[in-house]
């Protein structure tokens, strides 16, 4: 019997570099994603991809092949630790999600593989536990201790809703996304891998600041920061990382508050767009994870009619998320890509218009 597992990508509307300090995020699943079509096999996991070649591991996750096989093996190993029977599988993988674009392609791969492995072994795992297992698998695969936002958004996504996720409790509030708005994803053409970027350094700097202060950034207010920075004797870098995280958590709360407003109006839309642009400025100046290309793409998107824009994902390349009125989203996408391509002729940007979509599933 053929089992099909699908896991979507995600965009994070706001709340960047907050998840791994138990903060707040506001992501959603999107329609592009990764699909696995598999059949059960007595031993070994054998997957093939037209774009990325084969991936191999044994059914317990040992001896994974290089490249994306590391993720396949890591997921199998995490599920083995949870008691899954060592049933293998054979199948094909396809993707409509560009790798290295900041749209959580690795989380989508992990979740799709986990769903397929669970299905062929008739192994039931609660959705939250599946997301956490996939988070651990990413750490196991690449040595980068990422937050849980990507996997949670991939698993729990709901059409027409954003997920207000508290990464400390893993509580989720579904917040409706207005029909009058659309998400414009602009992929910069600058690809990155977290293990090859300064992600770990930024993460370590923020965590060091949080430990010295002794409170999570989501529980702090910006008017407390000066006294806390002095009391904790933070250096300049740690202080700037903490300032970003505190303000970003406040922006998540503000964005969720705007989206709860009824009736929705143009003033609310403009205010939400302004929060995205403010977030990008903080990621550029305080957290220092932007690039010349991402900064240009944000400015270009706003110039061509976006209500606001910011980098989405860890930074150092990848994508920009622009907020646009639904009836202008196609125009923003087309004109922004044209302008960006003229400026960066050596790159090959792409993009799409998206709305929040459903999360991972099998059939």
- What is the C-alpha to C-alpha distance for residues 112 and 131, in angstroms, rounded to an integer? 11
Distance CA 357, CA 8 (A): 8
Helices 69-81 and 127-142: crossing angle in degrees, nearest 10, is 130
Q: Is 219 a catalytic residue?
A: no
Nearest alpha-carbon partner for 313 in 345, 291, 335, 329: 291
- Classify strands 181-187 and 308-312 as parallel, antiparallel or unpaired: unpaired
Give the span between the Cα atoms of 290 and 244, in whole angstroms.
Answer: 13
Given 19, 22, 48, 150, the catalytic residue? 150
Cα torsion 304, 182, 354, 154: sign: positive
Count how many Cα atoms sit within 13 Å of the Cα of residue 304 in the half-sphere of its side chain.
Answer: 21
Helices (H), the chain: 69-81, 105-120, 127-142, 149-156, 199-213, 225-232, 236-260, 266-285, 292-303, 329-343
The residues annotated with a catalytic role in the active site are 150
């Amino acid at each position: 019997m053929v089992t099909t597992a699908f896991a979507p990508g995600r965009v994070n509307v706001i709340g960047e570099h907050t998840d791994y300090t138990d903060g707040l995020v506001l992501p959603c699943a999107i329609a592009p994603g990764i699909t696995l079509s598999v059949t059960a096999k007595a031993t070994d996991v054998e997957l093939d991809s037209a774009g990325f070649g084969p991936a191999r591991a044994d059914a317990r996750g040992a001896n994974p092949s290089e490249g994306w096989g590391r993720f396949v093996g890591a997921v199998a190993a995490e599920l083995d630790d949870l008691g899954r029977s060592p049933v293998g599988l054979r199948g094909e993988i396809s993707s409509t999600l560009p790798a290295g674009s900041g749209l959580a392609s690795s989380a989508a791969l992990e979740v799709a593989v986990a769903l397929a492995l669970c299905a062929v072994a008739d192994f039931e795992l609660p959705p939250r536990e599946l997301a956490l297992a996939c988070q651990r698998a990413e750490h196991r695969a690449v040595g980068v201790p990422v937050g849980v936002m990507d996997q949670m958004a991939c698993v729990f996504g709901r059409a027409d809703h954003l997920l207000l996720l508290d990464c400390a409790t893993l509580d989720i509030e579904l917040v409706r996304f207005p029909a009058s708005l659309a998400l414009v994803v602009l992929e910069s053409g600058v690809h990155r891998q977290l293990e090859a970027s300064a992600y770990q350094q930024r993460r370590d700097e923020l965590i060091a600041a949080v430990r010295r202060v002794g409170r999570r950034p989501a529980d702090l207010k910006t008017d407390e920061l000066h006294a806390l920075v002095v009391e904790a004797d933070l250096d300049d870098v740690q202080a700037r990382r903490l300032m970003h995280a505190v303000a970003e958590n406040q922006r998540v709360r503000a964005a969720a508050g705007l989206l709860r407003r009824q009736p929705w109006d143009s003033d609310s839309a403009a205010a939400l767009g302004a929060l995205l642009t403010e977030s990008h400025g903080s990621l550029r100046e305080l957290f220092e994870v932007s690039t010349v290309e991402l900064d240009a793409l944000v400015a270009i998107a706003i110039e061509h009619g976006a209500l606001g824009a910011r980098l989405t994902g860890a930074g150092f390349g990848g994508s920009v998320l622009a907020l646009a009125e639904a009836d202008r989203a196609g125009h923003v996408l087309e004109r922004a890509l044209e302008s960006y391509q003229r400026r960066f002729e050596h790159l090959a940007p792409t993009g799409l218009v998206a709305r929040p979509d459903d999360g991972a599933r099998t059939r």
